[in-house]
Structure 1
Amino acid sequence: MKIDVLTLFPEMFEGVFSSSILGKARDKGIVSLGTVNFRDYSTNKHNTVDDYPYGGGGGMVLKPEPIFGAVEDLPPHLTEEGEPVKPRVILLCPQGETFTQKKAEELSGEEHLVFICGHYEGYDERIRQHLVTDELSVGDYVLTGGEIPAMVIIDSVVRLLPGVLGNEMSAVTDSFSTGLLEYPHYTRPAKFRDWEVPEMLLSGHHANVKKWRLKESLIRTLERRPDLLEGRVLSKEEKLWVAEWKKQQQEKEINS
């Protein structure tokens, strides 16, 4: 996979791209990570990339020329047959689709991703209309620019690529990958102070452990993110677990 980031602050990505999972993925040749300062594509002598909005109003708007110029000047990513790959051009903005694990899985199947990190009041609308393929947001809050959201999305996507994680099952069982939050984890020692690891995890019975983990994932999701269960078709056993949990909650309320 080839990933290019258009940003006014390429130095922000130096540590992120060279550390941890992203750094290892790049060292292995699984992903190519690069940044472009789109100020280099300014078309005026002052090297400005923004201007006042037509119609008045506060803030500044990113001009289309530097963004279009930077994207169109990117070296193409070629297939094994030498054909250029059409990139997914992703605009980071609060108006975009909320980024999810499902979207990360979708993007992990692409060969070339381009991220546009904006600043100021917003983008010239022609960038949205004629250049980008996706608009993504990482949540309903305001950040200074698109750099941190780009880092979040890139990390989430790259870790799904084959060969990136040491244990390929790690990404499969992560929270949200199954539609549920992840089950609790424990490691040595089996007893720490007065807190013991659940006996089921020490039993060595893989089928029962798998069942325990599914139940714990379901209950944890009920407690913390019940919205994730909307539309989910529960098995007969899962329905019993939910009913049992709800009964316990009612008893707690009565006793409190």
Structure 2
Amino acid sequence: MTRTTVVAGVGPGLGSSVARRFAADGDDVALFARSSDYLSSTADEIQAETPGSTLPVETDIADPTAVASAFETVRDAFSPVDRLVFTSGSPSAGGGIVDVDPAGFRDVIDTRLRGAFRCLREAVDDMVDEGGGTVVVTSSGQSRRPSEDVAYAAARHGTRGLVRSLAADPRLGEADVQAVHLIVDGWIDKPSLRDRYPDHDRWMDPNQIAERIHDIATTPGTVHANEIDLRHPRDEPSF
């Protein structure tokens, strides 16, 4: 049976690895991102390498209309959504409460927290109607520890609360919808980070993370997860 998977936040690190892993199973995979050129080339590469079908959908998740339109595009091209993997980051605001620019704070919250809410709302609505599915929202260790970067921390703490609250919704449990907050507590290997931090030596392979996400999404059975953390074997837990 062909499944429809949406990967929201496809970039040269984890998002593209996740899309490739699900397409390797023959899934119909929709890729959401703002960069149309990167999105199209990545979708074409995955389409050529895997048995799955890919659909690049240029999407600004900070825009409610764009998100609603993107999911309608997926439904028209494939089917209602069976799986959502939300890997999107956010713009940088920086600074503590007395330094952060209010407009920058708003942009971070609107992209990361409200963006996750918009995508979850669309995907979960499909899953409840269709009788099950899985959403995985990736985050960092700052989703459960203090940080002076008030915008970054607030967005990630909020996202954690959003996803964890889904486990308390009886309608989702009855519909066999699994919602997982996945903490990637380490450095994901991607070219931009390697260039900036050439001395760092504890990189997490995005393909291996994608494999874990695939396992979570495809084998829920009678055991659902709600929060999982991943780290490099030489990193100490940050909680």
TM-score normalised according to structure 1 size:
0.33
- Structure with higher Rg: it is 1
Higher helix share: 2
TM-score normalised according to structure 2 size:
0.35
